[in-house]
A = this chain, B = another copy of it.
Amino acid sequence: MARPRRSDDTRQLLVEEGAAGFLTNGYHGTGIKQVLDAVGVPKGSFYNYFDSKETFGQAVIDYHSQCIQRNMAAAFGPALDPVAGLRAFFARQMDEFVETDYTGGCLIANLGAELEGSEVLRESLSAAFRTWRDGMAVALREAQEQGTIRADIDAAELADLLIESWEGAVIRMKIDRTLEPLRKCLARLLDDYFRP
């Protein structure tokens, strides 16, 4: 995802800083104090905005989910060909990964891998995954109607496989510091398995 844009709203600044922190250091590795310090907010003020670190985490996940939705709208909207839209969405992610030298990866997958024991955060992550999956399925269904993607498998199921393979490939990208797993994932699925 893109580096968060700054806004004047302190709560939003805290969420954006949290997203950057969680992406780099994980949920447990990101202290509330360092988020507050980075934004320049006194420690006591945190509870004016959030009940707990968990509530803060929930706001960060929701914010990241909105970023994914914006990126999908930006990629799918202008494209007449929905498969070109899907490619544009992933190409943008790959550009961002190169910019950040293959660090970070996907916040939703990272937190999904890291977090245990919080029902609140688990539900936020589940909702974020579903929203992403549903958005991809819309583009895939449209492509099925246009005859550019195979129509014998449900679009939601194709979207699940595409997202999950992508997430696994993102983790290997982080470990091996190369886009190759991502390019191969798209080539195998979009250019082969998903073809009509």
Q: Which chain A residues have a beta carbon within 8 Å of chain B's beta carbons?
A: 24-26, 28-29, 103-105, 109-110, 112-114, 116, 122, 125-126, 129, 153, 157, 160-161, 163-169, 171-172, 174-177, 181, 184-185, 188, 193
For A122, list chain B residues within 8 Å (CB): 175, 177
Tell me the smallest distance from the CB of A142 to a CB of chain B, in Å: 21
The reply to whether A165 and B161 form a contact with Cβ atoms under 8 Å apart is yes
For A166, list chain B residues within 8 Å (CB): 168
Per DSSP, chain A at the interface is helix
Q: How far is the CA of A112 from the CA of B163 in the complex (A)?
A: 17
Of the candidates B103, B164, B176, which one forms a contact with A165 in the assembled complex, judged by CB atoms under 8 Å apart?
A: B164
For A167, list chain B residues within 8 Å (CB): 167-168, 171
Q: How far is the CA of A31 from the CA of B145 in the complex (A)?
A: 53
The reply to whether A105 and B109 form a contact with Cβ atoms under 8 Å apart is no
Query: Quick one: copies of this chain in the complex?
Result: 2
The reply to whether A110 and B113 form a contact with Cβ atoms under 8 Å apart is yes
Query: Known interface pairs A126-B176, A172-B129, A175-B129. Does A26 touch B114 (Cβ–Cβ under 8 Å)?
Result: yes
Tell me the smallest distance from the CB of A117 to a CB of chain B, in Å: 8
For A116, list chain B residues within 8 Å (CB): 24-25, 103-104, 174
Q: Which residue in chain B gives the minimum CB-CB distance to A193?
A: B193
The reply to whether B25 and A175 form a contact with Cβ atoms under 8 Å apart is no
Q: Which of A24, A105, A112, A174 has the most CB of B within 10 A?
A: A112
